[in-house]
Structure 1
Amino acid sequence: MPGPIPQATAPTIVNPPALACDAHCHIFGPADRFPFSPTRTYTPPDSGIDRFELLQNRLGLERAVFVQASCHGVDNSAMVDAIQRGGGRYAGVAMIDGSFTDADLAHLHDSQVRGIRFNFVAHLGGAPDLDEFWELTHRVAALGWHIVLHLDAKDFTKYSGVLDAIPTSYIIDHMARVPASDGLEQEPFERLLERLATDDRCWVKISGAERLTDGRTAPYDDVVPFGRALVDCAPQRVLWGTDWPHPNLAVMPDEGELLDLLTAFAPDEATRNRILVDNPQVLYGFD
Structure 2
Amino acid sequence: MSAFVKDADWLDWHPNPSKPKFQVPAGAVDAHCHVFGPGDVFPFAPERKYTPCDASWEQLFSLRDFLGFDKNVVVQATCHGSDNSALLDVLERANGKARGVVTVKPDISVEELQRMHDLGVRGVRFNYVKRLVDPKPDDYYREIIEKIRPLGWHVVLYFEPSDLKEKKDFFNSLNIPLVIDHMGRPDVTKGVDSEEFALFLKFMREHKNVWSKVSCPERLSVTGPKALDGEQNAYQDVVPFARRVVEEFPDRVLWGTDWPHPNMKTEMPDDGILVDYVPSIAVTPELQTKLLVTNPNTLYWS
TM-score category (smaller protein): over 0.9
Task: Find the aligned partners of 1:255 and 1:72 in 2 and give their Cα distance.
Answer: 23
Task: Find the aligned partners of 2:55 and 2:133 in 1 and give their Cα distance.
Answer: 23
Q: Which residue of 2 aligns with 1:268?
A: 284
Q: 2:217 aligns with which of 209, 212, 223?
A: 209
Q: Secondary structure at the match of 2:131?
A: helix
Q: Secondary structure at the match of 1:158?
A: helix
Q: 2:200 aligns with which of 192, 196, 205?
A: 192
TM-score normalized by the length of structure 1:
0.96
Q: Secondary structure at the match of 2:101?
A: strand
Q: 1:253 aligns with which of 256, 259, 269?
A: 269
Contact kept, 8 Å, 1:122 with 1:152, in 2: the verdict is: no
Cα gap change, 1:153/1:126 in structure 2, threshold over 3 Å: closer, same or farther?
Answer: farther
1:54, distance to aligned residue in structure 2 (A): 1.6
Q: Secondary structure at the match of 1:124?
A: coil
TM-score normalized by the length of structure 2:
0.92
Task: Find the aligned partners of 1:229 and 1:23 in 2 and give their Cα distance.
Answer: 19
1:270, distance to aligned residue in structure 2 (A): 1.2
Give RMSD over aligned pairs: 1.1
Q: Which residue of 1 aligns with 2:237?
A: 222
Task: Give 1:33-182 correspondences, 5 Å limit.
Answer: 33-182=41-190
Task: Find the aligned partners of 2:202 and 2:282 in 1 and give their Cα distance.
Answer: 19
1:127, distance to aligned residue in structure 2 (A): 2.2
Q: Deviations over 1:125-149 (max 9, x none)?
A: 2422221111101211221000000
Q: Which residue of 2 aligns with 1:238?
A: 253
1:216, distance to aligned residue in structure 2 (A): 4.1
Q: Deviations over 1:108-162 (max 9, x none)?
A: 1101100000110010124222211111012112210000000012221211111
Q: Which residue of 2 aligns with 1:6?
A: 15
Task: Find the aligned partners of 1:61 and 1:125 in 2 and give their Cα distance.
Answer: 31
Task: Find the aligned partners of 2:75 and 2:211 in 1 and give their Cα distance.
Answer: 15
1:188, distance to aligned residue in structure 2 (A): 2.2
Give the unaligned 5+ runs of structure 2: 1-9, 227-233
Task: Find the aligned partners of 2:197 and 2:148 in 1 and give their Cα distance.
Answer: 28
Contact kept, 8 Å, 2:223 with 2:236, in 1: the verdict is: no
Task: Find the aligned partners of 2:196 and 2:190 in 1 and give their Cα distance.
Answer: 10
Query: Residue type matched to 2:108 in 1?
Result: F
Q: Secondary structure at the match of 1:47?
A: coil
Contact kept, 8 Å, 1:94 with 1:116, in 2: the verdict is: yes
Query: Residue type matched to 1:159 in 2?
Result: K
Task: Find the aligned partners of 2:161 and 2:167 in 1 and give their Cα distance.
Answer: 11
Task: Find the aligned partners of 2:220 and 2:19 in 1 and give their Cα distance.
Answer: 23
Contact kept, 8 Å, 1:242 with 1:258, in 2: the verdict is: yes
1:217, distance to aligned residue in structure 2 (A): 4.1
Query: Residue type matched to 2:254 in 1?
Result: L
Percent identity (aligned) = 39
1:235, distance to aligned residue in structure 2 (A): 0.5
Task: Find the aligned partners of 1:95 and 1:129 in 2 and give their Cα distance.
Answer: 15
Query: Residue type matched to 1:232 in 2?
Result: E
Q: Which residue of 2 aligns with 1:17?
A: 25
Query: Residue type matched to 1:70 in 2?
Result: T
Aligned length in residues:
285
Task: Find the aligned partners of 2:193 and 2:166 in 1 and give their Cα distance.
Answer: 17
